[in-house]
Amino acid sequence: MTETVLETVGLTKEFDGFVAVNDVDLELTQGEFRGLIGPNGAGKTTVFNLISGLAEPSSGSVRFNGKEITGLDPHEITSRGMALSFQITSIFPELTVRENVLGALHSGEALSNLLSRYGTDETKLDRVDGLLAQVDLDVHVEKQAGELSHGDRKVLELALALANDPDLLLLDEPTAGLSASETDTIKRLLAELRGTVTIILIEHDVDLVMELVERITVLHNGQVLAEGTPDQIQADERVRKIYFRRDH
């Protein structure tokens, strides 16, 4: 039986009387690649914030790896095996690419202490360099992160999220602002991750979502409108009218 990695029950968030997320139930199994799509304002990023602890639900619950995490601080949740990669990168531009990933391996420790302690640790450096090779950033290990192209910064952000072998990876618009070739790089990397980690992907590039994911949850006005395989979602009349804006 496949293990449930993430489960939300009745997840709801109100902001001054406005219901941004309304009674959302999600269940993801181990190794699943799930797409989360919907029109602007549908509540997608708010759902991410509720899952990751960046926001506290008005009601409902979140369970991760079988344990209640509702109301926990983000650092407590990430320490349990959840990783986040958002539209806005969180790299340290003045540090090298290698130092950024080294920092992600020990995110709870002061960066200055970390670099002095592990900067010559061959085991740690091999782990970092192996991860950078996995995402094709090995040629930039000594380059300052701030000197990377926008696309390579996105790839580095993905590497940071993967540094601690997460059980669940939340990706919010990883291809936003990228060129076609940069998007292809991200798509290839995500395809290689399929089945090795449970992933929820928010992405406006519908073709990319349809190609990569196994199941899709469609949000509309903060509620789950539909859920199913890519083929089922593309054939759903409600989704076609509200999201794809096609009547037939």
75 and 190 housed in the same domain: yes
26 and 75 housed in the same domain: yes
70 and 108 housed in the same domain: no
Which of the listed residues 106, 137, 165 is the one where a domain comes to its end? 165
Most confident listed range (89-93, 163-167, 191-195, 227-231): 227-231
Exposed, middle or buried: residue 240 (CB in 10 Å: 0-12, 13-18, 19+)?
Answer: middle
Contact yes or no for 88/48 (Cβ under 8 A) = no
Q: Please check the confidence at residue 119 and state whether its pLDDT lies above 70.
A: no
Q: Please check the confidence at residue 23 and state whether its pLDDT lies above 50.
A: yes
Whether 88 is covered by a domain: the verdict is no
Q: Please check the confidence at residue 120 and state whether its pLDDT lies above 70.
A: no
32-55 pLDDT, tens digit per residue, is 999 999 998 999 999 999 999 999
**Mean residue pLDDT across the chain:** 89
Q: Please check the confidence at residue 247 and state whether its pLDDT lies above 80.
A: no
Whether 63 is covered by a domain: the verdict is yes
243 and 174 housed in the same domain: yes
35 and 99 housed in the same domain: no
Q: Residues 128-136: what's their mean pLDDT?
A: 90
Whether 119 is covered by a domain: the verdict is yes
193 and 227 housed in the same domain: yes
232 and 115 housed in the same domain: no
Whether 30 is covered by a domain: the verdict is yes
Q: Please check the confidence at residue 84 and state whether its pLDDT lies above 50.
A: yes
176-186 pLDDT, tens digit per residue, is 888 998 899 99
Query: What confidence category does residue 107 fall into, taking pLDDT thresholds of 50, 70 and 90?
Result: low
Query: What confidence category does residue 248 fall into, taking pLDDT thresholds of 50, 70 and 90?
Result: very low
pLDDT, position 48: 94
8 and 25 housed in the same domain: yes
Whether 87 is covered by a domain: the verdict is no
pLDDT, position 91: 86
CATH number for 35: 3.40.50.300
171 and 248 housed in the same domain: yes
pLDDT, position 122: 76
Whether 86 is covered by a domain: the verdict is no
173 and 148 housed in the same domain: no
Q: Residues 197-220: what's their mean pLDDT?
A: 95
Write down the pTM of the prediction.
0.89
Q: Residues 118-130: what's their mean pLDDT?
A: 76
Q: Residues 203-215: what's their mean pLDDT?
A: 93
How far apart CA 148 and CA 73 sit, in angstroms, is: 31
Q: Residue 2 gets which letter from DSSP?
A: P
Q: Please check the confidence at residue 236 and state whether its pLDDT lies above 80.
A: yes
Which of the listed residues 165, 196, 217 is the one where a domain comes to its end? 165
Q: Please check the confidence at residue 138 and state whether its pLDDT lies above 50.
A: yes
pLDDT, position 237: 93
Q: Range of 226's domain?
A: 1-81+166-248
Nearest CA-CA partner of 186 in 196, 197, 201, 166: 201
182 and 74 housed in the same domain: yes
70 and 174 housed in the same domain: yes
Q: Residues 167-190: what's their mean pLDDT?
A: 92
Looking at per-residue confidence, does 114 or 201 come out higher?
A: 201
Contact yes or no for 23/12 (Cβ under 8 A) = yes
Which of the listed residues 118, 144, 165 is the one where a domain comes to its end? 165
What is the side-by-side strand order in the sheet with 4-15? 18-29, 4-15, 59-64, 67-68
Contact yes or no for 198/168 (Cβ under 8 A) = yes
Domain count for the chain, please give it.
Answer: 2
| Alpha helices (runs of H) in the chain, residue ranges in sequence order | 44-52, 74-79, 97-105, 111-118, 122-134, 150-162, 180-193, 206-212, 230-235, 237-242
Contact yes or no for 102/128 (Cβ under 8 A) = yes
Q: Please check the confidence at residue 240 and state whether its pLDDT lies above 70.
A: yes
Whether 90 is covered by a domain: the verdict is no
